[in-house]
Amino acid sequence: MKMRSPFWSILMFVSFLAGVAMPTGAVEITSTAKQAYITDFLSGKVLFSKNADEPMKPASMAKIMTVFVAFQRIVDGSLKMDDEFVVSTKAWKKGGSRTFLEVGSKVTVSDILHGIIVQSGNDAAIVMAEGISGTENAFADEMNFWAKKIGMSSTNFRNSTGWPDPQQNTSARDLSILSTKLIKNFPDLYKMFAEISFTYNGIKQGNRNPILYNNLVFGADGLKTGHTEESGYGLTASAQQKNLRFILVLNGMTSMRQRKQESSRLLNSAFREYKKINLYLSDDNVTKAKVFLGEMEAVPLVVKQDISLLLNSIEQREMIVKAIWNEPISAPIQKDTELGKLLIKVSDEKTLSFPLYAGKGVNKQSFFKRIGSTIDFIIWGSVK
């Protein structure tokens, strides 16, 4: 409801973050990777992007979707962790990283998942695909179904392993979407990605995710590496510190060492540079507006939602918060009526807007009081 009045009132909170230590400068995030993309898990805010939509080969990072499909089957009840699948000759013969499954043997879904997630076993991925869909080609169709459903617009899967195929492509943005959905949809099952090692058939193998070791990145708990000659070395990773979780995708590195150093550096830079600023809680009073002809001289203006922003050091320092409303506001005023806006400028390109509501109802003054208030306003411009 828009109230007509003689003028607009604007209240600027130029010292909104008074008392908060502000950095004197910001660290610019850069990367030597061919493709790199960092997002905030909860808000989806992009913290860093380099060629995020450029077509790239997923390599073994395609196995994240293989696991996603299996998790989906487990959640809907059509697949159980103790179900068993038979290892085919195709799976047994597959080269690359392996779980060392024996041809003709029966393997539980739990062991297959650990083989895919921890050991990046191509044999385990094929056994899962054939066990769920009958053939790996049919399973790739299911992978693409889910890719389209969750918004991976630049992805086409051709197999369950990420094995090189001319028609198999993805993007850093799409792998970030996939990883975010997997963690949100399957939080309990996702915990497997943090396991450091897995032993099968007497062979112990460590998790290939480099950021899980030696506290290179505090709070790292997944997801998956990838490597082919064509794609280079890549990693899709997640780490959580306090109330923040960031998703990182990078690809095109030249060595395992470079992948390890670059992924750790990027995540640590992001956690150092970005902070979550809690501005208001729902029903917090932002300011007060003068009331004309009301039993109260002012009405509190409140927000009706929690407002938290993830900001880098420059945005924190330069943020401007403004409350605007028509003043004076004529009584009667019903509680929760929209009366103004809270504007938060975080950069020259971005200003956020939130409605401001009446925190209380305000009745009209009595007839005789209204006469006096109207005279004061006409003569002196004052509002009582």
Q: What pLDDT does 8 receive?
A: 57
Q: Count CB atoms within 10 A of the CB of residue 275.
A: 18
CB distance 63 to 116 below 8 Å: yes
Name the region of 372 (left: φ>0; alpha: ψ -120 to 50; beta: rest). Answer: alpha
Q: What pLDDT does 261 receive?
A: 94
Helix ranges (H only) for 59-157 are 63-76, 89-93, 109-117, 122-133, 136-149
Peptide bond into 332 cis (omega under 30): yes
Helix ranges (H only) for 134-255 are 136-149, 172-185, 187-190
299 strand-pairing partners: 289
Through-space distance between the first and last CA atoms of the chain, rounded to whole angstroms: 22
CB distance 113 to 128 below 8 Å: yes
The set of catalytic residues is 60, 63, 120
Q: What pLDDT does 23 receive?
A: 43
Q: What pLDDT does 344 receive?
A: 95
| pTM of the shown model | 0.86
Q: Which helix (H) or strand (E) holds 38?
A: strand 35-40
Local confidence pLDDT in tens for the 384 residues of the chain? 333 333 456 776 654 544 444 444 445 678 999 999 999 999 999 999 999 999 999 999 999 999 999 999 999 999 999 999 999 999 999 999 999 999 999 999 999 999 999 999 999 999 999 999 999 999 999 999 999 999 999 999 999 999 999 999 999 999 999 999 999 999 999 999 999 999 999 999 999 999 998 677 889 999 999 999 999 999 999 999 988 999 999 999 999 999 999 999 999 999 999 999 999 999 999 999 999 878 888 999 999 999 999 999 888 888 999 999 988 898 899 999 999 999 999 888 889 999 999 999 999 876 556 565 566 666 655 555
Peptide bond into 223 cis (omega under 30): yes
CB distance 50 to 36 below 8 Å: yes
CB distance 301 to 327 below 8 Å: no
